C-alpha cells in the first residue's frame, strides 16, 4: 500500500511537469495551428532563468585571504556576495536561499518577451507553410537555443537547490499508520502546477481576452470579420504559453539539476502527452500529463520491469500507439481532428 501510494505521488509530480509543458504546447497549436518543436527549449530556458538569477544573486566581491591557500599555493580568493554586503549576512543568505521561488518573478517577463519575439520574429512567417516546415524550423531553433545555453553554462547539470524551508521530506502517512514520506519540494511543485493550470483556465474562461481567444480557436475567420485583431491576441497567447513552460522549468530545477539538453528530453514526451490528450484540447493535455506521469512511474517499479523488461522505456509510446489506433483524436480531442 505504501509503495502504491508512493508511485501515485511520484506520478503526480512527474505528471505536473508534463501537464504544464503540454498545456503551453497545445495552447500554441490550438491558437496558431503551429507545431512548436521549440517548446521544450522554452522549458529549458525557464530553468536557466532560475540558474541565472541564482548566479546574479551570487555575484561577489573577492578578497584575498592570506591565511588560506588555493590549489596553486596562492592566497585563497574569498567571495562575499553583494546581497550579503548590502543587506547583511543573514538577509543576504536568505535571499540566495529563496532564489528559485524568486526566479518566478524574474522568469515571467523574460519568458513572455522570448515568446513574443519568437512568434513575431520567426514563427509567424511559417503560418501558411506545411506542418513539416514548421517542425523543421522550430526544431532547428530548439537546437540553436540549447547550444547557446551550453556555450554560456556548460554541459554539466547545475545544482539549484530549493529553499531550506521547503527541502527535506514530509510525513504524509503517519496519521493513517502508513510509512509514507515524500519530498516537500515535489509536493510544492504539484500544487504550483495546479495553481498555474487553474490560472490559465480561469484566464481563458473568465476574461474577455480569454473569451476572444477561445472564439478565435473555434473560428478564427469569423472573429477576424468582427474587427478583432486576433493575430495580436494569439501572439500574446504564444507569450503566455512560453511563460507557462518557463515557469514549469523554473520550479523543476530543485527536482533535477538543469542542463542544456532538458528541452529535448521533455519535448517528445510532451508531444506524446498532447497527442494522447487530444491536439488542441487544454483539459486533455492536463489529463494526459497526469495519466502518463502515473503510468510511467508504475512502469519503473521493480515489479513492472522484472515482469516486462524494458516496459519503463516504452510505456508512454505504447499508450500513444494504442490511442492513435483506437481514438485518433485523443482522450478529449475534438471530433475530426487527427481523424481525417
Residues that bind another protein (CB under 8 A): 2-3, 6-7, 10-11, 13-14, 68, 70-72, 76, 150, 154-159, 161, 168-169, 179, 181-183, 185-186, 254-257, 259, 261-262, 265, 296-297, 300-302, 305, 312-313
Give the residue with the Cβ less far from another protein, 149 or 279: 149
Q: How far apart (Å, rounded) are the C-alpha atoms in residues 236 and 239? A: 5
State in angstroms the smallest separation of the CB of 157 from another protein. Answer: 5
> Residue 119 Cβ, how far from another protein at the closest point, in Å?
28
Which CB sits closer to another protein, 62 or 90? Answer: 62
In this complex, which beta carbon is closest to another protein, that of residue 94 or of residue 301? Answer: 301
Cα 123 from Cα 266, distance rounded (Å): 21
Residue 80 bridge partners (DSSP): 61
Residue 254 or 330 with smaller CB distance to another protein: 254
Contact assessment for residue 258 and residue 30, using Cβ atoms and an 8 Å cutoff: no
Give pairs for 83-87: CB < 8 Å, separation 24+.
Answer: 83/57, 85/61
CB of 3 vs another protein, minimal distance in Å: 5
Cβ distance to another protein smaller for residue 214 or 261: 261
Nearer to another protein, 281 or 297 (CB): 297
Q: How far is the CB of 57 from another protein (least distance, A)?
A: 16
Residue the block writes with cell 539549484? 160
* Closer Cβ to another protein, 76 or 337, answer by number: 76
The answer to whether residues 256 and 1 touch, using CB atoms and an 8 Å cutoff, is no
As measured in angstroms, the least distance from the Cβ of 20 to another protein is 14
Q: How far is the CB of 123 from another protein (least distance, A)?
A: 26
CB of 102 to another protein, least distance (A): 19
The least distance separating another protein from the CB of residue 297, rounded to whole angstroms, comes to: 4
Q: How far is the CB of 254 from another protein (least distance, A)?
A: 8
Q: 275, 327 in Cβ contact below 8 A?
A: no
Q: Identify which of residues 63 and 68 has a Cβ nearer to another protein in the complex.
A: 68
Query: Which CB atom, from 2 or from 339, has the smaller least distance to another protein?
Result: 2
CA angle 33, 36, 37 (to 5 degrees): 150
Amino acid at each position: 500500500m505504501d509503495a502504491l501510494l508512493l508511485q501515485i505521488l511520484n506520478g503526480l509530480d512527474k505528471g505536473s511537469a508534463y501537464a504544464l509543458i503540454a498545456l503551453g504546447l497545445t495552447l500554441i497549436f490550438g491558437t496558431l495551428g503551429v507545431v512548436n518543436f521549440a517548446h521544450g527549449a522554452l522549458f529549458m530556458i525557464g530553468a536557466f532563468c532560475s540558474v541565472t538569477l541564482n548566479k546574479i544573486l551570487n555575484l561577489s566581491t573577492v578578497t584575498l585571504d592570506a591565511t588560506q591557500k588555493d590549489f596553486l599555493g596562492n592566497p585563497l580568493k574569498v567571495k562575499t556576495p553583494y546581497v550579503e554586503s548590502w543587506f547583511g549576512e543573514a538577509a543576504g543568505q536568505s535571499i540566495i536561499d529563496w532564489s528559485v521561488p524568486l526566479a518566478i518573478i524574474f522568469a515571467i517577463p523574460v519568458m513572455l518577451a522570448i515568446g513574443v519575439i519568437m512568434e513575431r520574429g520567426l514563427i509567424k512567417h511559417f503560418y501558411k507553410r506545411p506542418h513539416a516546415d514548421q517542425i523543421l524550423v522550430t526544431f532547428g531553433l530548439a537546437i540553436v537555443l540549447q547550444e547557446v545555453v551550453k556555450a554560456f553554462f556548460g554541459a554539466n547539470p547545475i545544482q539549484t537547490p530549493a529553499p531550506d524551508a521547503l527541502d527535506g521530506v514530509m510525513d504524509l502517512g503517519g496519521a493513517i499508520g502508513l510509512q509514507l514520506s515524500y519530498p516537500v519540494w515535489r509536493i510544492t511543485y504539484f500544487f504550483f502546477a495546479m495553481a498555474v493550470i487553474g490560472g490559465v483556465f480561469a484566464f481563458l474562461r473568465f476574461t474577455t481576452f480569454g473569451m476572444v481567444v477561445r472564439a478565435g480557436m473555434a473560428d478564427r475567420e469569423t472573429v477576424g470579420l468582427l474587427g478583432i485583431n486576433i493575430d495580436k491576441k494569439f501572439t500574446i497567447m504564444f507569450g503566455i504559453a512560453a511563460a507557462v513552460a518557463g515557469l514549469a522549468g523554473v520550479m523543476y530545477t530543485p527536482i533535477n539539476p538543469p542542463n542544456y539538453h532538458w528541452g529535448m528530453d521533455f519535448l517528445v514526451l510532451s508531444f506524446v502527452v498532447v497527442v494522447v490528450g487530444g491536439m488542441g484540447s487544454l483539459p486533455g493535455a492536463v489529463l494526459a500529463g497526469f495519466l502518463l506521469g502515473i503510468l510511467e512511474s508504475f512502469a519503473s517499479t521493480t515489479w513492472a520491469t522484472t515482469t516486462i523488461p524494458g516496459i519503463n522505456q516504452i510505456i508512454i509510446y505504447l499508450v500513444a500507439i494504442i490511442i492513435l489506433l483506437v481514438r485518433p483524436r485523443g482522450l478529449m480531442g475534438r471530433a475530426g481532428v487527427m481523424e481525417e
